[in-house]
A and B are shown apart, each in its own frame.
Chain A
Amino acid sequence: MKALTANRLIDGEVVFWRNGQWVEQFGDAQLFNDDDPAGEAAEAHGKNQPTVVVEPYLIDLTQSQGLWAPVSYRERIRALGPTNLNHGKQADGGAAIEALQHAHGAARSTGRVDLIKRK
C-alpha cells in the first residue's frame, strides 16, 4: 500500500493526498494499492501544483495491528512530529495518531532512498 505526501508550500506543513485534496493527517490519507496506477497519477497531479506543495512523493506503508503505517521511521516522524517534544501532529492526539505511535512491524529507521523515492 502507498500514500502520497508532500510539504505545503506556504507553511511547510506535512500533507497527504486524499481524492484531489491535500489533508494534514496521515489517518485521512488516500491509500493506493502498490500496482494501482492512480497513485502515480496523483503524484503527477501533485507535481503540477508547484504553488501548492513542494516535491510530492509516494511512501510505502505496512500493516500494523490492522492499520496502515509508513514503513520508514522518517515518514512516521513526519506523520507524528519529533520524538523529543510533543509538538506537531501528535499534539492533536486522537485514535489514528495513537495507532501510528504504537505501530509495530515497521523498520525503525529511514531507508528512504529505497523505500520512498522508488518510482
Chain B
Amino acid sequence: MPTFIRLQAGAPALAEDPFTAVGDDQTIPPGDVIISLSRFQTEGEGLLSEGRQVGVRLESHEDVEALAYDLPRIAVVALAFPKFGDGRAYTSARLLRERFHFKGEVRAVGDVLREQAGYMVRCGFDAFEPADGSTAQAWERATHRFRHVYQRASDGRPVAFEGRGG
C-alpha cells in the first residue's frame, strides 16, 4: 500500500485510501474506484448508478474541461505527474478549484515528491500519493516552508500585498 496523505482541516495527515486505482486493462473490483477519463466516459454512468464513489484520473495532457459537466458527481480527480518536472497538473488543479469550483478531492499521483508539496497545496490539491515515501510530518514541513506568498492561488492564503496594507 503506497503512502497516502490527505489534508485534514488544512494539515497533512496519513490517511486510509478508500479508493482503488484501476488500470484500463483491469477488471473493476467492488467498492470505490479511480478510473481513467476514457473509461469514465464509457463506464462511469453504470458505476455511479451502482451507488459507488467514482474518481477520474487525468493524465497531464488531458484537459480538465473534458470533465466539466461531470464534476458534481465525481468524488476524486487524480491528476497525474508522469515526471515531477511536468507542471501541467498545477494548472489543471487551479482550474478545477477556481473555474469549476470543484469541491471533491484533488489528488496528486505519479512522480510526486515532497519538494512540490507547497506548490500543490497552493494550487488546490488536497490529497497526495508521495512517491518518495514522505511522512505526513515531512509533508507538513514542506507545505509550510514559506511564511509568505506573493500570488493569489486556490488555497485562499493571504497574499503578501494584503498584509502590507497598501
Q: Do chains A and B touch in the complex (CB under 8 A)?
A: no
Residues of B within 8 A of A (CB): none
